[in-house]
Amino acid sequence: MTHTLEEAKGNKRASTSYSRMNPFQAKVLKNININGNGSNKETRHIELSLEGSGLAYVPGDCLGIAPENDPVLVAMLLDEMQWDPEESVVINKQGDTLPLREALATYYEITLLTKKILQQAAKLTENEELQQLVEVENVGKLKEYIDGRDLLDMLRDFGPWDVSAQEIVSILRKIPPRLYSIASSMAAHKDEVHLTIGAVRYNAHGRERKGVCSVLCAERLQEGDTLPVFVQPNKHFHLPESQDTDIIMVGPGTGIAPFRSFIQEHSVSEATGRSWLFFGDQHEATDFLYQNELEEYLKNGILTKLDTAFSRDSDKKVYVQHKMLENGKELFDWLEKGAYFYVCGDKEHMAKDVHNALLSIIEKEASLTPEEAETYLNNLQKQKRYQRDVY
């Protein structure tokens, strides 16, 4: 049975008792690495069952995951402070308690520091270096220290700590859920939700660091396990109401996720609007995520155009914005005919570069001044025809 976008939106309003505060334990149906052998990256394609949850979503929505901290990091903290893992600690104003190991694993954020945490920690030690670091005039140094460091670093750097575990955990924040763009359409996969998650690993300050949720998914989440999840609607990133509207999607790397959802929805709803995807990554041989699916959609005409940019496959680094500029005339023609333009992925670099490329195309193809091109783009945003899901 074919579900329309409107029906799905109606479903989403159906009451469910599962939420951010009460996540649903979704069973893992599939968890595979979709990068090829020899890739510098590890991207997990995860399929979860929503059967019996009452949860529903539309393309563009996010899935929230309540993650757990790395047990190795928790063990290092307990060892560093010589804490009793079974000691009971109060975790909230209501007076609820948990054994310390469980509290560090499931309740507290231990991988990020904040100015407030260091200011409060300074009251728990006589360490002069920390006292100086939190002085108002050293705000720049404090910011520099926080970057890339975690609770273990702070405890190692600024001891001795003549305090209880309770006093330390009381200055910590609750671990926030992680949000991921949904990579499937409910119309195509009833009672399922798919995710595309890049494992985050890097070295900083002499230690290997791991993304809390991404590495949980990459290293510790097995098929048959459950993951606590909830649906987070995204009102600012969705398909056009009309199915005959053209869409242009720019999603390098894991930014492909919502566009896989869009294309699946188009496929099932038999939308008549054209669709054009710009995808990029490092190497075509190992990093062309969902290549077979996308090429099949292209062959079947569900995807009208597919332009790819693999930055490490040539001497000159080619990115998605370069492919946009190469196709500027046609891209602008699509916009003039009412196409919606979507971007998903890295906010710091890619989204800015795509934005600037879009401005250049509008300026050139419409023979506008830079200011007029800005106005054109602002109007697209007002009409909700330029939408961004960036992080």
* pLDDT per residue as tens, the chain (391 positions): 333 333 334 444 344 689 999 999 999 999 999 999 999 999 999 999 999 999 999 999 999 999 999 999 999 999 999 999 999 999 999 999 999 999 999 999 999 999 999 999 999 999 999 999 999 999 999 999 999 999 999 999 999 999 999 999 999 999 999 999 999 999 999 999 999 999 999 999 999 999 999 999 999 999 999 999 999 999 999 999 999 999 999 999 999 999 999 999 999 998 999 999 999 999 999 999 999 999 999 999 999 999 999 999 999 999 999 999 999 999 999 999 999 999 999 999 999 999 999 999 999 999 999 999 999 999 999 999 999 999 9
Cis before 160? omega within 30? yes
* Inside any domain, residue 242: no
Same domain, 21 and 112: no
Same domain, 34 and 82: no
* Inside any domain, residue 274: yes
Using DSSP bridges, classify how beta strands 43-49 and 192-198 pair: parallel, antiparallel or unpaired.
antiparallel
Name every residue whose Cβ is closer than 8 Å to that of residue 245 and which is 6 or more positions away in sequence.
273, 338, 339, 340
Percent composition of the chain: helix, strand, coil (DSSP 3-state, to 5) = 40, 20, 40
Q: Domain tally for the chain?
A: 3
Q: Mapped to the 3 state alphabet, what secondary structure does 197-226 carry?
A: EECCEEEECCEEEECHHHHHHHHHCCCCCE
CA–CA distance from 288 to each of 10, 297, 347 (Å)? 35, 15, 21
* Domain boundary residue, one of 151, 169, 187: 169
Q: With beta carbons less than 8 A apart as the criterion, state whether 341 and 380 touch.
A: yes
| Whole-angstrom distance, CA of residue 9 vs CA of residue 231 | 13
H or E stretch including 363? helix 350-365
pLDDT in tens, 210-235: 999 999 999 999 999 999 999 999 99
Name every residue whose Cβ is closer than 8 Å to that of residue 388 and which is 6 or more positions away in sequence.
237, 342, 343, 344, 351
Longest distance between any two alpha carbons in the chain, whole Å = 70
Structural domain harbouring 346: 247-390
Distance of CA 51 to the CA centre of its chain: 24
Same domain, 120 and 251: no
Radius of gyration of the chain (CA): 24
* Inside any domain, residue 349: yes
Enter the tokens of residue 280.
Answer: 């990029």
Using DSSP bridges, classify how beta strands 62-65 and 226-232 pair: parallel, antiparallel or unpaired.
antiparallel
Same domain, 57 and 183: yes
Name every residue whose Cβ is closer than 8 Å to that of residue 209 and which is 6 or more positions away in sequence.
111, 148, 150, 200, 201, 202, 203
In this structure, what are the phi and psi dihedrals at residue 72, rounded to the nearest 5 degrees?
A: -65, -45
* Inside any domain, residue 218: yes
CA–CA distance from 64 to each of 57, 263, 314 (Å)? 12, 22, 37
Residue 131's CATH number: 1.20.990.10
User: pTM of the predicted model, to two decimals?
Assistant: 0.93
Predicted pLDDT of residue 270? 85
* Inside any domain, residue 238: no
- What's at 97, amino acid-wise? T
| Whole-angstrom distance, CA of residue 16 vs CA of residue 24 | 10
* Inside any domain, residue 195: yes
Q: With beta carbons less than 8 A apart as the criterion, state whether 320 and 350 touch.
A: yes
| Whole-angstrom distance, CA of residue 41 vs CA of residue 37 | 10
pLDDT in tens, 153-172: 999 999 999 999 999 999 99
Same domain, 300 and 371: yes
Same domain, 375 and 270: yes
Same domain, 140 and 201: no
| Whole-angstrom distance, CA of residue 347 vs CA of residue 335 | 23
| Whole-angstrom distance, CA of residue 60 vs CA of residue 54 | 19
